[in-house]
């Protein structure tokens, strides 16, 4: 490809620019894509010739390529810097066999500890661990501490909490028993049973549910019975003076 041979003697740059403006537009964008390879000398021959042809008539792209060449010339000077006069001695001191006894085969770190350390370097993992630790602390704070030698005075809140736990445990025990019994009834659902099996199952479930309600009500009554004296003790009712009988009643 020879662009100079194709150019007519009468061709002028402004004419070329005018034609390009009305057709494909200036080719500077395409040159920017090829400029680095052109400066590095890795552009194929035909492309290199086209780039040179454009550069002959485009001062902007000439400036771009010239600065690329300047940068390519100056940048390698930044590669090596002088670390200081005592640097080598310091490195040799640190890499002396006495300073680095295990210079060759270094013992493998404990994989568990290394894995934990690697995990903890991740901010999200550390955050999750902190969250779990906080949650565990809050949950533990809800449980009563082991009994000390001297019993602490029973407050209303402690009483309510203890009794609620007991009631919930009773409800849970009833629920488990109810589930086990229900499972024992399940064969009644198998095909081939008489049609009255459903009604028998339903009536048994009703009875069990009724028993559970009764047990729950009893537990609530017990809680009330134990809480009420404390409340009455804490807040004694005001005693009203005995009123005189109404005049109409006399």
Least CB distance from residue 63 to another protein, whole Å?
7
Handedness of CA 82, 87, 88, 94 (dihedral sign): negative
Nearest to 172 by CA among 210, 216, 204: 216
Please give the distance of CA 9 from its chain centroid, rounded to a whole number. Answer: 71
- Binding piece for another protein, criterion CB under 8 A, among 71-79, 161-169, 205-213, 226-234: 71-79
- For the CA atoms of the chain, what is the radius of gyration? 47
69 binds another protein (CB under 8 A): yes
The DSSP letter of residue 90 is H
Instruction: Locate 68 and state its tokens.
Output: 């690329």
In which residue are the tokens 């199952």 written? 201
Q: Which listed residue (3, 20, 28, 83) binds another protein by CB under 8 A?
A: 83
109 binds another protein (CB under 8 A): no
125 binds another protein (CB under 8 A): no
- 18 or 100: CB nearest another protein: 100
41 binds another protein (CB under 8 A): no
104 binds another protein (CB under 8 A): yes
- Report the distance separating Cα 25 and Cα 47, nearest Å: 18
Q: Which residues bind another protein (CB under 8 A)?
A: 32-33, 35-36, 63-64, 66-72, 74-84, 87-88, 90-92, 94-95, 100, 102-106, 121, 123
């Amino acid at each position: 490809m020879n662009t100079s041979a194709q150019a007519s003697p009468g061709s002028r740059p402004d004419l070329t620019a005018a034609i390009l403006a009305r057709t494909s537009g200036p080719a500077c964008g395409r040159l920017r894509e090829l400029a680095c390879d052109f400066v590095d000398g890795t552009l194929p021959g035909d492309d290199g010739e086209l780039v040179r042809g454009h550069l002959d008539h485009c001062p902007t792209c000439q400036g771009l390529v010239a600065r690329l060449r300047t940068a390519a010339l100056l940048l390698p000077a930044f590669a090596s810097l002088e670390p200081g006069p005592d640097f080598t001695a310091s490195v040799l001191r640190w890499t002396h066999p006495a300073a680095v006894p295990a210079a060759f085969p270094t013992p493998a770190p404990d994989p568990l500890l290394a894995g934990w350390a690697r995990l903890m370097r991740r901010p999200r993992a550390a955050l999750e661990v902190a969250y779990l630790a906080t949650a565990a602390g809050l949950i533990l704070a809800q449980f009563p501490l082991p009994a000390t030698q001297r019993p602490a005075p029973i407050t209303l809140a402690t009483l309510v909490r203890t009794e609620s736990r007991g009631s919930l445990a009773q409800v849970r025990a009833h629920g488990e028993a109810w589930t086990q019994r229900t499972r024992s009834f399940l064969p009644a659902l198998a095909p081939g049973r008489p049609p009255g099996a459903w009604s028998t199952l339903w009536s048994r479930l009703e009875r069990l549910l009724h028993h559970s309600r009764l047990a729950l009500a009893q537990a609530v009554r017990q809680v009330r019975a134990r809480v009420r004296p404390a409340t009455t003790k804490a807040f004694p009712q005001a005693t009203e003076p005995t009123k005189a009988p109404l005049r109409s009643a006399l």
